Amino acid sequence: MSDAKTQIDETVNANDVVLYMKGTKSMPQCGFSSRVAGVLNYMGVEFTDVNVLADEDIRQGIKDYSDWPTIPQLYVKGEFVGGCDIITEMTLSGELDQLFDQKGVNYDKQAAEKIREANA
């Protein structure tokens, strides 16, 4: 398990935005992963996707790493942000925009507004 922790640590710290998910950003394999990847893709966020279905050690390791029981898990600049429900709430409230602004992550502000308008 320490190999998985090391690998996760390196991935999270080497990339600005990382999504641990079931499937890939181009082919999510669960609804929750699809929702978070969809938000990031729509907002034009460059992110690294890690398919937990491809590696059982990573799948369990990411849950231990964050002390969070579910997948997907979003990391921004090395910091665990949350899973699907938290990312959805943050997107709708504008908190995700604020986080990206604070961390210097590029995203499409108009796309973020469109998501909020569509869900108002």
Q: In this predicted model, what pLDDT tens digit does every residue of 19-62 receive, in sequence order?
A: 999 999 999 999 999 999 999 999 999 999 999 999 999 999 99
Average pLDDT value for residue range 62-82: 97
- Residue 30 known to bind ligand: yes
Number of neighbours of residue 117 by Cβ within 10 angstroms = 8
Average pLDDT value for residue range 9-19: 98
Interior/surface letters 11-32, b for 16+ CB within 10 angstroms, e for the rest: bbeebbbbbbbbbbbeebeeeb
Question: Reduced to 3 states, what is the DSSP secondary structure of residue 57?
Answer: helix
Distance CA(107)–CA(93), nearest Å, equals 16
Kindly tell me the sign of the dihedral angle through the C-alpha atoms of 120, 16, 26, 4.
negative
Query: Could you give the domains of the chain?
Result: 2-118 (3.40.30.10)
Tokens of 14: 């080497």
What does pLDDT average to over the chain? 96
